[in-house]
Amino acid sequence: MIHRFVTAALAGLALLQPALAADNAIATARDSIKKAGTELLSTQKEYADLRLALYREVNKLDDQVITLSKELRTLERDEELRTSKVRSLEREVETRKADFTYASGVLNQYAKAIISRLHPAESQLYKTEIETLDQKATAATGDPVAEVVDRCKILETGIKRLSAIAGGHRFDGKALGRGGQAVEGTHFIAGPAVLFASADKLFEGVASTADTGAGLAAIVPLAETNGTIAKAIESGEGTVPLDATGGRAIEAALKNPGGDHGGGAMEHLALFGDIAKNMMFDGWIAIAVCVLMIAIGWTIAARKILYLNSIEKGTKEFIRQWSLLSSDLTAIDHGDKRSVDSLGGNADPATQKLIEKSPLYEIYHIGSDEIRHRLENDRTHKKGLTGRSIQAIRAALDAGMVRCQHKLTDGLVYLTISIAGGPYVGLLGTVVGVMITFALIAKSGEVDVNAIAPGIASALLATVAGLVVAIPALFVYSYLNNRIKSMVGEIQVFIDEFVAKMAEFYQGSDNQGTVSKVIE
């Protein structure tokens, strides 16, 4: 019984063993899941902590980035300020350099000029000192401070000299007396006047500004001074012959005691003022007309010269551009205005603006327009240009040359009027003035040279005015006329060349024997 029970129990255990094993597996799996869940929760918590730490770190880095950005902008502003200051300092340095160069140049010029301004009598006082300082300053070009200091010393010497001269500078020295002998004595400089008295009081006079080559002044001796110059130099009081010309006037007076009544250029010019005072109303009318003719003629001449200069520059440039186009004249017949204006694309806008002033450019435009007009009826360009077409184009070019010649000579008639009419207007004023002068003399009944001379002189002034109108106008007209003739000759040569090139590139069936005839 027991055996059966045991057997049954064992059999039941055998049957229960798989179920128990499954329960154990489930429990194990459950424990594993629970453990995994715990680990997952722990991992999630660690991840959350790490993420929070990372967020904090990122926020901290963002704050640092913002701080660094602010510092960077501050540094950039500082850099801009420093750059601006550096540029300002560089400009200031350049300004200081320019100021130094200018000041040094002025002082250098002063050093050179003061030597030439010294009176020969002063050479023994200042010349050696100034030349020594100038040589030191020139040698000190590597040391700007030393250079300026030495040149300022020269300036100080010059100021000291001016102060001494202004107050009357008295000093002992030598001068060249009679026979060119060096004489010991005392100099007295008062502005431009330099006096000298020998030590023995036997020789005195005015120091001349003539360069003797000996570094000493030559003395112009004065007679009948009775020692007044020596007394005045010694005591500082008295009357002396002060000559502002440095002795030249006294020297001239000694050489020519009778004087010179011939007068100089300035004296002659001054006489014109005296003559004008006696000018009559009719003379003033003639002179006013002459002045008007001068104003008109010279204005037109100046404008014409400027105009010819401008078109000559344009002509030279046009000829250079034409030499590039003339090798293929067909570049102007396709109707492209821009290509025609730029001579087949060879001339840039600046060059085109320059050559537009040339009359050759106008002739060229006439020829290109005529060529395109006659080729419009022949789209394939097979027939070319006939002899009659070339003759017609040549006629159009000749007409353009005539118009250009009119432009070139426009205004020259005023010069010819000045040349022809100026002397006659002046002569009319002179004749009327002389006639009125003699009428007044006849009315007064007295013949007096002093009464006749002013009237005749003032009347002749009108003739002078007329000649002043005509003579310059004649020279200017000849000059302009020659230039215009040269310009017209260039136009003629260009027309011949244009016709020859046109016949060559647009050769038709009947123009082969016409080219030389058209050119002739």
3-state secondary structure 327-368: CCHHHHCCCCHHHHHCCCCCCCHHHHHHHCCCHHHHHHHHHH
Which of 305-309, 369-373, 425-429 has the lowest average pLDDT?
A: 369-373
According to the per-residue pLDDT averaged within each range, which of 102-111, 147-156, 173-182, 423-432 is highest? Answer: 423-432
Query: CA-CA distances (angstroms) from residue 102 to 12, 91, 95?
Result: 129, 16, 10
Q: What's the rounded Cα separation, in Å, for the pair 421 and 426?
A: 9
Q: Give the helix, strand, coil percentages of the chain, each rounded to 5.
A: 75, 5, 20
Residue 94 has pLDDT above 60, yes or no: yes
Of the candidates 491, 490, 489, 494, the one whose C-alpha atom is nearest the C-alpha of residue 326 is 494
Q: What's the rounded Cα separation, in Å, for the pair 313 and 107?
A: 44
**CA geometry: angle at 498 spanning 495 and 502, to 5°?**
140
Question: What is the pLDDT, as a whole number, of residue 406?
Answer: 86
Query: CA-CA distances (angstroms) from residue 42 to 27, 38, 39?
Result: 22, 6, 5
**Cα dihedral angle (16, 19, 25, 26), rounded to 10 degrees?**
-130
Lateral strand order in the sheet of 219-221: 169-176, 182-190, 193-198, 204-207, 219-221
Q: Region 223-235: what's the mean pLDDT?
A: 69
Question: What is the pLDDT, as a whole number, of residue 257?
Answer: 45
Residue 410 has pLDDT above 80, yes or no: yes
Question: What is the pLDDT, as a whole number, of residue 261?
Answer: 43
DSSP string over 294-309: HHHHHHHHHHHHHHHH
CA max distance for the chain: 208
The number of angstroms, rounded, from the C-alpha of 313 to the middle of its chain's C-alpha atoms is 20
What band does 408 get if pLDDT is binned at 50, 70 and 90? confident
Q: Region 299-326: what's the mean pLDDT?
A: 81
The pair of structure tokens assigned to 114 is 């003061």
User: What integer best gives the mean pLDDT of the chain?
Assistant: 75
Q: What's the rounded Cα separation, in Å, for the pair 171 and 123?
A: 12
Query: Which phi and psi angles does 65 have, rounded to 5°?
Result: -60, -45
Question: What is the pLDDT, as a whole number, of residue 260?
Answer: 45
Q: Are 418 and 294 in contact (CB under 8 A)?
A: yes
More confident residue, 407 or 224: 407
More confident residue, 230 or 83: 83
DSSP string over 229-260: HHHHHHHS-S-----TTTTHHHHHHHH-TT--
Question: In this structure, which amino acid lies at residue 360?
Answer: L
**CB count in 10 Å sphere of residue 156:** 11
Give 455-513 pLDDT, tens digit per residue: 787 788 888 888 888 898 899 889 888 988 888 888 888 888 888 877 777 765 555 54
The distance in angstroms from the start CA to the end CA of the chain is: 165
Question: What is the pLDDT, as a whole number, of residue 175?
Answer: 74
Q: Quickly tell me which residue has 């010294």 as its tokens.
A: 118
104: enclosing H helix or E strand: helix 2-117
Q: What's the rounded Cα separation, in Å, for the pair 121 and 208?
A: 9
Give 126-146 pLDDT, tens digit per residue: 777 787 888 887 787 777 778
The pair of structure tokens assigned to 150 is 């030495």
Residues ≥6 apart with Cβ < 8 Å to 315: 355, 358, 359, 360, 487, 490
Helix axes 123-139, 144-166, angle to 10 degrees: 160
More confident residue, 516 or 303: 303
Q: Are 115 and 154 in contact (CB under 8 A)?
A: no
